[in-house]
C-alpha cells in the first residue's frame, strides 16, 4: 500500500473531525466534476485543493476535507480525515457516522479521466482494507448513492462496487453475505422511529433484497433502513412460514431468518 499520511503532504497531523470508534463499512465516491489525468507529483496539490474548497464552504461547515481517504489514478492513498474520524461526505449526519468515505480522483462521465485506472482500483481496495485494519470498518462496501439521492460514484465505479470491489485481475470467490441476527434485531427495534433512511446495520439491505425477491417488499424500500415497511414485509414472510401472533410481528427470529437466508444465499450468525 502506498499511503501518504496527512503530515507528509502538508496537512495538520490530526484531523479536527469528530472521533468515532467504528463504522459499518466504507462508501466509495468520485469527484463528479471535470478532472484530467496529471503527473503523480501534482496529485497531492489537488488533494490539498479539495480540502481548501471544503473548508471554504461555510454553508456545509466542514471541519476538514470531507473524505477519510483520497485515491489518485496512480494508486496512492492520501490520508484525509483518516481512521476513527467521522466522514463529512456521505450526505447526512447518520450516513456519515455509519460509514467511512473514500474518494477516487475520477471525473464525471465525459469530463476527462472518467474511468478508474487499475492502479486506482488497487488503491481503493488498499484504502478500504486500511480503514478496516485501523478504523474498525465493517465489511460493507457501497457507493455514495446507496441511501442518498446522488449519481456518485458514477457508472464505472459503481459497477465495480456492485461486483464486490475486486482487485483488477483477481476473480473473487463466491462468498455468501453474513447477517448478524442480534444486530438485525437491534436495527428493527431502533430504525422505525427515526426520520429519513438511516442505515444502522448494513446487513439490513441483504435481508430487504431477499424480501424483494420474495415479492414482499417494494424495490424503492430496499434502502438499508429497517423501518415499518420492512417490518411489515418480514411479518408477511413469517406468516408465509406459518407463524402467527407474536411469532409474526416482523421482528426477525433465528428460524425464519435462516429460512430466508437458505432461499436467498446469505448466512446467519448470532
pLDDT value at residue 225: 87
Instruction: Return the domain boundaries, the chain.
Output: 3-162, 178-269
Residue 65 bridge partners (DSSP): none
pLDDT digits (tens, 9 = 90+) for 88-146: 999 999 999 999 999 999 999 999 999 999 999 999 999 999 999 999 999 999 999 99
pLDDT in the model for residue 189: 86
CA distance 111 to 32: 9
Confidence band of 175 (pLDDT split at 50, 70, 90): low
Give dist(CA 89, CA 30) in Å, integer: 11
Q: How confident is the model at residue 196 (pLDDT cuts 50, 70, 90)?
A: low
Question: Where residue 11 falls among pLDDT bands split at 50, 70, 90?
Answer: very high
Helices in 62-199 by DSSP H: which ranges?
A: 93-98, 118-135, 155-162, 181-190
Name the nearest CA neighbour of 193 among 160, 151, 227: 227
Q: Provide the CATH number for the domain formed by 3-162 in this structure.
A: 3.40.80.10
Kindly state the average pLDDT of the residues 31-43.
Answer: 95
**Residue 150 pLDDT greater than 60, yes or no:** yes
Amino acid at each position: 500500500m502506498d499511503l501518504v499520511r496527512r503530515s507528509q503532504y502538508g496537512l495538520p497531523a490530526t484531523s479536527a473531525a469528530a472521533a468515532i470508534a467504528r463504522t459499518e463499512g466504507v462508501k466509495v465516491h468520485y469527484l463528479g466534476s471535470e478532472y484530467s489525468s496529471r503527473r503523480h507529483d501534482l496529485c497531492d496539490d489537488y488533494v490539498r485543493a479539495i480540502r481548501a474548497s471544503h473548508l471554504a464552504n461555510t454553508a456545509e461547515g466542514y471541519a476538514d476535507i470531507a473524505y477519510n481517504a483520497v485515491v489518485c489514478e496512480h494508486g496512492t492513498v492520501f490520508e484525509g480525515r483518516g481512521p476513527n474520524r467521522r466522514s463529512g461526505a456521505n450526505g447526512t449526519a447518520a450516513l456519515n457516522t455509519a460509514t467511512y468515505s473514500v474518494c477516487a480522483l475520477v471525473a464525471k462521465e465525459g469530463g476527462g479521466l472518467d474511468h478508474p485506472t487499475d492502479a486506482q482500483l488497487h488503491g481503493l481496495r488498499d484504502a478500504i482494507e486500511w480503514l478496516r485494519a485501523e478504523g474498525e470498518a465493517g465489511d460493507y462496501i457501497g457507493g455514495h448513492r446507496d441511501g442518498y439521492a446522488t449519481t456518485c460514484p458514477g457508472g464505472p465505479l459503481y459497477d465495480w462496487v456492485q461486483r464486490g470491489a475486486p482487485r483488477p485481475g483477481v476473480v473473487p470467490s463466491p462468498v455468501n453475505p453474513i447477517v448478524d441476527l442480534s444486530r438485525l434485531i437491534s436495527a428493527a427495534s431502533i430504525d422505525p422511529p427515526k426520520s429519513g433512511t438511516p442505515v444502522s446495520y448494513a446487513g439490513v439491505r441483504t435481508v430487504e433484497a431477499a424480501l424483494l425477491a420474495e415479492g414482499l417488499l417494494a424495490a424503492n424500500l430496499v434502502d438499508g433502513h429497517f423501518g415499518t415497511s420492512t417490518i411489515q414485509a418480514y411479518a408477511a414472510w413469517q406468516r408465509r412460514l406459518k407463524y402467527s401472533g407474536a411469532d409474526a410481528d416482523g421482528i426477525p427470529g433465528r428460524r425464519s431468518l435462516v429460512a430466508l437466508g437458505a432461499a436467498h444465499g446469505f448466512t446467519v450468525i448470532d
